[in-house]
């Protein structure tokens, strides 16, 4: 699918990237789409306190992760996957 943005929309996205709010135009657009999904979800009546708390907590975690990535505080994907596999294995052992 191809999308054409207005000049004003393009300028807003480029300014966000230029000022370091997002690493790329794609990331800025992804965030805009996620916010649109949140808006639609909330307007559909899914605004329970638990859901809203989860949304806010998730946004804070994403913001923290972005800040850490910008500072170069990143981890090797293979290490993270190995850690997650270990957690799943331990959880299965507890269940069985």
- Per-position pLDDT tens, the chain of length 96: 677 888 988 888 888 888 888 888 888 888 888 888 777 766 666 667 777 788 888 888 888 888 888 888 888 888 888 888 888 888 887 775
Whether residues 3 and 21 fall in one domain:
yes
Whether residues 39 and 63 fall in one domain:
no
Whether residues 61 and 86 fall in one domain:
yes
Q: Please give the residue range of the domain that contains residue 7.
A: 1-46
Whether residues 70 and 37 fall in one domain:
no
Whether residues 40 and 56 fall in one domain:
no
User: Looking at the 3D structure of the chain, how many domains does it have?
Assistant: 2
Whether residues 40 and 67 fall in one domain:
no
Task: Report CA dihedral (51, 55, 60, 61) to the nearest 10 degrees.
Answer: 90
Q: Which pLDDT belongs to residue 46?
A: 60
Q: Which pLDDT belongs to residue 62?
A: 85
Nearest to 34 by CA among 62, 71, 67, 64: 62
Whether residues 30 and 65 fall in one domain:
no
Can you give the pTM of this predicted structure?
0.43
């Amino acid at each position: 699918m191809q999308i054409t943005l207005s000049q004003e929309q393009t300028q807003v996205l480029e300014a966000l990237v230029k000022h370091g709010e997002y690493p790329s135009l794609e990331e800025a657009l992804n965030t805009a789409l996620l916010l649109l999904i949140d808006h639609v979800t909330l307007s559909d009546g899914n605004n329970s306190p638990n859901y809203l708390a989860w949304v806010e907590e998730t946004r804070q975690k994403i913001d923290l992760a972005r800040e850490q990535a910008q500072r170069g505080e990143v981890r090797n994907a293979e290490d993270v996957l190995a850690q997650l596999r270990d957690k799943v294995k331990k959880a299965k052992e507890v269940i069985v």
